[in-house]
Structure 1
């Protein structure tokens, strides 16, 4: 099973070495790396050229992160696609091999594990316990971490990729579309590290991300009035708590 790992970059020289090294060390042999660059001029492109696995570079891709991820998807030739951003990294050498083993021989089109957060250089466990997977649980909250998610390429294409009209919740929207096709394989262990820093998009504007999450959720809830009222009420409570914090 061939795996395509898409990494979006833009002046990513500071953190990209950790991401590249974590991919380089994977024990799974058949990996292609696709770098989608927005016009870096800080040495990022020169660093990419040192990659020791098969790789492609898409140059000058602008128009937002969703478009960049979609361009990487279009260039991918693997059976499975993962998006590992330039400031994130895999936690151990068998992440890809473990995911491939979990997907092989199953009808599931996607799989996800957990993450740790990297804050000020320290690895910190997730601050919540993810619920057992169900589509109903996912509609209540996005608990699927993007750096630890792997999707069969044909499922990703059938779902339509990422919505370029979304700025924060594009991954949540995609997970909900995938969940309508079938349940994922859920791996309990942490697979990737998510680096939190001032440049992290979703963490830099939490209220805007929260509002967009709700917008996406309501797209997928369905027409039932009681369900929509329940999600609206939960949203109002959470928004009030966020504003008073």
Structure 2
């Protein structure tokens, strides 16, 4: 697993012996509005002093001089101001914020967001108590342009602490919002700056890279506010659909630095999640009578993922009475589009990868998790030691059990085995999750390609699904040669 790709800008370390504050609060700006004053005031209200905190606004060569005026008025000499001589773009300016940071810990706070009382003291306390901590984030509040609180981000854990499945969560969706995240500067030095080709998904890309190498600490108390307003860059990208195309691009980038056995299922979930997110945005845009923007969201969602679940959700969107406004635009879209972008999925769902030897198991997902993990671990060990292991794909039937939960369990088991036996990525078996969404016709396509079922002590078998499939005992599996 590569730590740093050559595409990511280098972050130079601070020279040894240089006096450094604990915090660097870096505010990237470009033609900021009056929101910047609120941002600075929220920092200064809990300022521990110049010895402990660097506060700096880094302006990306704005066409207006409002940033410097606000810094002088609100900062009164306490806040540093730097203006780039030429425009670097979002990614370049964010990366420059890291490079200019002198503190041991970096907090990138955007020009329209703010923090709540106790943000820095709470994280300082956690950092001092957890010396191995490298990245932490808290729950955040979403607010509108007037500062009214709208809703909370998802609650990732009821208790403060390291997230046991931090990487899995971040791979599927961006659970971390910039104003809520603090990162040790040495992490950026190790991984590099922000992806230079991204504008919307560059923060998600960074959090995925960080969480692939570091445990994430989560604080459930909301201590940061993320502002949603019509003039934001994010809002502009939503109206063209570029936000969704970038999210899918970020998923493709992620595949380059994660092992296939670990990432495939989660990245497929990520594609489906982002497509559903696009449909959700489309419905909100439709409610505001922004028809072209809604169509742009749907277009990019279908270009990025055409799984059975996504197509079903698309049909549900079209079935809503208010969606009749979309039909003329969508019809024109399909007429003018390259039809290869909108082909229906193949006979088997997207994400199922078969090999010469395809085996299936039917675990009982309702049994105690300890017993379930023990039994699944035994199956994986047998496959990893089988003479034909490189030709085996394992189909795991989940029935109505949530695939996201199943993926978390299987990924954890596999990672433990890899660490225990010091295995290489090439040793990983192909694992496919099969659930009740498969139609009878798809099962008819799949069954002839299954060489056998591995019998488990605790299982839930739909006899119709296993009809005609040879059954093998787990303890005798390595004696079976499935190929002539």
> Is 1:46–2:69 an aligned residue pair?
yes
Matching residue within 107, 116, 122 for 1:98: 122
**Larger CA Rg, structure 1 vs 2:** 2
> Is 1:118–2:152 an aligned residue pair?
no
Matching residue within 198, 203, 208 for 2:242: 208
Q: Equivalences for 1:54-65 in 2 at 5 Å?
A: 54-65=79-90
Q: Distance in 1 between matches of 2:68 and 2:192?
A: 29
2:95–2:193 contact (8 Å) kept in structure 1: yes
| Counterpart residue number, 1:10 | 30
Change in 2 beyond 3 A, CA 1:10/1:69: same
1:112–1:187 contact (8 Å) kept in structure 2: yes
Q: Distance in 2 between matches of 1:168 and 1:54?
A: 27
Instruction: Pick 1 or 2: higher relative contact order, CA cutoff 8 A, min separation 6.
Output: 1
How many residue pairs get aligned? The number is 244
Q: Distance in 2 between matches of 1:86 and 1:202?
A: 13
1:13–1:42 contact (8 Å) kept in structure 2: no
> Is 1:32–2:57 an aligned residue pair?
no
Q: Residue 185 of structure 1: CA displacement? A: 1.3
Partner SS state of residue 147, structure 1: helix
| Counterpart residue number, 1:217 | 251
| Counterpart residue number, 1:78 | 103
| Counterpart residue number, 1:193 | 225
Provide TM-score, normalisation by structure 1. 0.88
CA RMSD of aligned residues (A): 2.4
Q: Distance in 2 between matches of 1:237 and 1:146?
A: 20
Q: Distance in 2 between matches of 1:181 and 1:192?
A: 25
2:71–2:81 contact (8 Å) kept in structure 1: no
| Counterpart residue number, 2:364 | none
| Counterpart residue number, 1:150 | 182
Structure 1 or 2: more strand by fraction: 1
Change in 2 beyond 3 A, CA 1:76/1:230: closer
Bigger drift between 34-43 and 133-142 goes to 34-43
Change in 2 beyond 3 A, CA 1:61/1:116: farther
Q: Residue 37 of structure 1: CA displacement? A: 0.8
For structure 2, the residue ranges without an aligned partner over 5 or more in a row are: 1-20, 158-162, 280-297, 299-313, 318-484
Q: Residue 161 of structure 1: CA displacement? A: 1.4
Q: Distance in 2 between matches of 1:97 and 1:237?
A: 35
Q: Distance in 2 between matches of 1:219 and 1:18?
A: 35
Provide TM-score, normalisation by structure 2. 0.47
